Amino acid sequence: MRFIIFLLVSIFSGCYTMYGVVLQEEKNNQISSQEHVNYKISEANQEVPESIIFIIADGTGIGQYSVSYYSNGDFAPARFDHVGLVATHPNDGECETTCKRVTDSAASGTALSSGQKTYNGAIGVDREKQPIKTMLEWAEEKGMLTGLVATSTVTHATPASFAAHVDYRKKEAEIAQQFANSDVDLILGGGKKFWPDSLINIYENNGGEFITDLKTSVENGSKVLGLFADGALPKVIDGRNPTTTQMAKYALNYLDKNSQGFFIMIEESQVDWGGHANSAEYIQGEMKSLNDLINFALDYQEKNPNVLVVLTADHECGGVAVHDGENGDLDIRFTSDYHSANFVPIWATGPGAEVFDAFMDNTEIGRILTEYIKK
């Protein structure tokens, strides 16, 4: 009887949570760290793809995939043949003093596009702010057609990291100028506000056509710039149009006519923003869009087996975890409204995909894909 009284008093006095964890104990959640290892993988004796579809789900970690698995039905990533795990930290600060483990999309985008780490905020430049050649630029040099698709502004950190070189990600007007003078064959997404008419004229004078509707026909051989919103495209839950998959279909129809192959980076940009907003509904909608995109890309790969499809993330955002809610619903919880250093998965199917069955640093993805393009 005394034990029962003690237990009731303890529960009602708040000493224990529902899981029996003592709350009044002293804790220190600041722990020391050690210098990390950037794990490498080997691509020896691997098949080389003719074309590459590189999907980046911004801000998407295991928690976001768990949300999708339990709330969106069909789980498209299960169709991939190979899966691995990726560390995403930047090269920002010294590990004995100010070393950062949490990346932003610019540093991680540059690591993925070039195979080289840099500081947070850097777009296609190293720690000395010198340009780094990206896999898209290597693809251009090899005569491949190239494309960038995003649901953010096309000048946002991730797409910018593949075709621009600036010292700070917020310089989107400067990034747009570099895009207008670049050799990227196709660019689709949002961000018309960074493309004044004078810049559109420069783009068109450089052999490009500007469209605001995917139904618009373009001349054969013309580069294509499609901007479908002044800023980012609408959320999925607000009725995104065009959808990520519609843009991907348009892009592949444009790119796959080239006998020398193609490289395209497609970013499902706004999963990250759902993490920043701590909005499970936002994440669920964007993950549904990613699911549709994956199914389309893998259907395409089945018909075109010389194509490699790779899916990963630049980082995780929000520290997302799935818990049981009431009446069988999900209770989605967040540890922050910013990025975390949590590992993210990588999925792959097609020639050369088996090298991604590993734990790796994010620079290894950029290195391996660039080697495939060079070969």
Q: Show contacts of 233-236: CB within 8 Å, 24+ apart.
A: 233/151, 233/152, 233/189, 233/190, 233/270, 235/270, 235/282, 235/285, 235/286, 236/270, 236/285, 236/286, 236/288, 236/289
Instruction: Determine the Cα angle at 148 with ends 147 and 150, to 5°.
Output: 150
- Residue 23 falls within a domain, yes or no? no
- Residue 293 falls within a domain, yes or no? yes
- Residue 28 falls within a domain, yes or no? no
pLDDT at 171: 98
- Residue 29 falls within a domain, yes or no? no
- Residue 32 falls within a domain, yes or no? no
**Which residue in the block uniquely carries the two structure tokens 């540059």?**
110
Could you tell me the CATH number of the domain that includes residue 111? 3.40.720.10
- Residue 183 falls within a domain, yes or no? yes
pLDDT at 17: 54
Q: Which position among 51, 68, 105, 152 bears the catalytic label?
A: 105
**Number of folded domains in the chain?**
1
> Chunked in runs of 10, what are the mean pLDDT values of the chain (375 residues)?
50 49 73 88 84 98 98 97 98 79 97 98 98 98 98 98 98 98 98 98 97 93 96 98 98 93 98 98 98 98 98 98 97 98 98 97 98 95
The whole-angstrom separation of Cα 156 and Cα 135 is: 18
The whole-angstrom separation of Cα 173 and Cα 6 is: 66
- Residue 24 falls within a domain, yes or no? no
pLDDT at 327: 96
Comparing C-alpha atoms, which of 147, 157, 98 is closest to residue 124?
Answer: 157
- Residue 6 falls within a domain, yes or no? no
Positive or negative, the CA dihedral 76, 82, 84, 86 is negative
| Structure tokens, 265 | 């980076």
Q: Which amino acid is at 277?
A: A
Q: Does the annotation mark 105 as catalytic? A: yes
Range of the structural domain that residue 88 is part of: 39-374
